[in-house]
Amino acid sequence: MTQEVLINTQAVVIGSGPGGYVAAIRLGQLGVKTVLVEKGQLGGVCLNVGCIPSKALISASKLIEQARHAKSMGIHFEGLRVDLKALMTWKDSVVGKLTGGVGQLVAGNHKGNPDAVVRGTARFVGLNELLVDDGAGKVTRIRFENAIIATGSAPSSVPGFEFDGVHVLDSTGGLAFDTIPKNLVVIGGGYIGMELGGVWQRLGTAVTVVEFADQILPAFEADLVRPVFKRFIASGGEVLTGTKALGWSKREGGGVRVQVEDRKTGTRRELEGDAVLVTTGRRAVTDGLGLELLGLIPERDGTLRVDGEQRTALSHIFAVGDVAGQPMLAHKASKEGEVAAEVIAGEPSAFDARAIPAVVFTDPEIASVGLNTKEAEAAGHKVKVGKFPFAANGRALSLNDTEGFVRVIIDAETSVILGCEAVGPEVSNLIAEVGLAIEMGALASDLGLTIHAHPTLAEAVMEATNAALGHAVHAINR
């Protein structure tokens, strides 16, 4: 027998990922009565089966790799082994701490509201009404003034490689092996493929990456990708660029055979693996929401068009995160969630970020923020570029990790900082100061004259900026 409950609220947020839960928390801070709807675990894809668990495994696998190469530092590890079950338990504990924290934050910012979180699958049944079905006989009818759609995205497959959870895996399956594969075929050499492929390679798997484009990580400049490619190959990996995945079949005795074709020569070959990991992209999740009833028509990729306040074509319906379009990044989603919440609360707010950072947690890491050289020139800037290698950075030398560089792009006439690209140790942490500089409209001299602690990796950012001005101290300026 179905039980129906009615809730009246000022705002409802559908989805508790980095966009949704941040929106719900911000709405609570601003005194807006809110219901957060989630059909799965709080935290969404990012916290549960994406950003956080993958980075936990990346950190652990990099530690193993460091141990393997510690001989040059006079440190010898004998009998190094991986207890995968214990590693997965630790990974899950990291996830648990964060998802539990999300629940506490939402509840803490909506004190006195017993309906702050409602579990189940949401579907619009009117312009100001939706139903939430918990799948166990309880349906909650929510009447709202404003709604935020934050339903995220899901992995998209390629023809002939539909996910079955056993032979053909998505990114979630790529985080949950119960034994370390001997061989793994990864289709898609973008950031997910290279991150997860790198994890299993460092844990001992023979990994082959199949990429349709002419280089892995095609969104980045070739010289940024080169150190990642070089280290991946040196560690025993294989990369097939300019290659199309045609299909797969079961291998006798278990595993798969994958047929691929070189796009230029037409040469075909067969790859073997314990499984196929498909990481060719993601599609926004808007199916089943009942948007057609509202007159909202998603784009072909499932996304919804929004304005600077995150409003859809209906002024009281907002969309944030992956549903609101590229780039599909957690930190972009969180900022959009804040904006939507503030607009609903009547605050003057808009998504007007000048630069959204991008990071790939490969080995070494790649990070960028703002414009690269080609983008800056296309926007009409005359540019100057400063580049500084980690091989000349004292901290990188002491970490025994000197591959890569930092590159800073500035306007040649005004010296305004336009962007930064980097590959090397911990560059994910280094680009934040350049992001701040871009948002401030800072000059290269503002960053270059700032005293950076020594010895730190951040000095490479300062040196690259000064190199753009023509006077880096620890590099030959040309």
Q: pLDDT tens digit string along 289-343? A: 999 999 999 999 999 999 999 999 999 999 999 999 999 999 999 999 999 999 9
Active-site position among 167, 381, 454, 474: 454
Categorize the per-residue pLDDT at 3 as very low, low, confident or very high, splitting at 50, 70 and 90.
Answer: confident
The dihedral region occupied by 429, where left means phi > 0, alpha psi between -120 and 50, and beta the remainder, is: alpha
pLDDT reported for residue 38: 97
Can you read off the two tokens belonging to residue 151? 């339903």
User: Which of 403, 454, 393 lies closest to 425 in space, CA to CA?
Assistant: 403
- Is the pLDDT at 478 greater than 70? The verdict is no
Round to whole Å and give the CA distance between 183 and 66.
Answer: 22
C-alpha distances in angstroms, 246 versus 3, 188, 258, 268?
49, 13, 8, 9
Round to whole Å and give the CA distance between 156 and 171.
Answer: 10
Residues in the chain, total: 478
Most confident of 13-22, 72-81, 153-162: 13-22
Supply the angle between the helices 191-202 and 222-234 in degrees, to the nearest 10: 20
Q: pLDDT tens digit string along 377-410? A: 999 999 999 999 999 999 999 999 999 999 999 9
117-119 and 34-38: which strand pairing? parallel
Going from the N-terminus, what domains does the chain have, and what CATH number goes with each? 3-154+283-344 (3.50.50.60), 168-280 (3.50.50.60), 364-469 (3.30.390.30)
pLDDT reported for residue 69: 87
Q: pLDDT tens digit string along 425-454? A: 999 999 999 999 999 999 999 999 999 999
Round to whole Å and give the CA distance between 185 and 166.
Answer: 13
Categorize the per-residue pLDDT at 165 as very low, low, confident or very high, splitting at 50, 70 and 90.
Answer: very high
Task: Write the DSSP assignment of 104-121 as a string of letters.
Answer: HHHHHTSTT-TTSEEESE
C-alpha distances in angstroms, 315 versus 214, 312, 328, 332, 350?
43, 6, 23, 21, 14
Round to whole Å and give the CA distance between 451 and 411.
Answer: 22
Q: What is the mean pLDDT of the chain?
A: 96
Round to whole Å and give the CA distance between 261 and 282.
Answer: 24
Q: Which residues of 389-418 are buried (b: 16+ CB within 10 A; e: fewer)?
A: bbebbebbeeeebbbbbbbbbbbeeebbbb
Average pLDDT for residues 175-195, to the nearest whole number?
Answer: 97
- Is the pLDDT at 79 greater than 90? The verdict is no
Categorize the per-residue pLDDT at 1 as very low, low, confident or very high, splitting at 50, 70 and 90.
Answer: low
| Proportion of the chain above pLDDT 90, given as a percent | 94
Round to whole Å and give the CA distance between 131 and 121.
Answer: 8
Mapping DSSP to helix (H, G, I), strand (E, B) and coil, where does residue 280 land?
A: coil
Categorize the per-residue pLDDT at 170 as very low, low, confident or very high, splitting at 50, 70 and 90.
Answer: very high
pLDDT reported for residue 177: 95
**To the nearest 10°, the Cα dihedral for 199, 205, 210, 216?**
40
pTM over 0.85: yes
CB–CB of 324/336 below 8 Å?
Answer: yes
pLDDT reported for residue 477: 62
CB–CB of 367/358 below 8 Å?
Answer: yes
Round to whole Å and give the CA distance between 322 and 171.
Answer: 16
Active site residue 454: yes
Q: pLDDT tens digit string along 191-230? A: 999 999 999 999 999 999 999 999 999 999 999 999 999 9
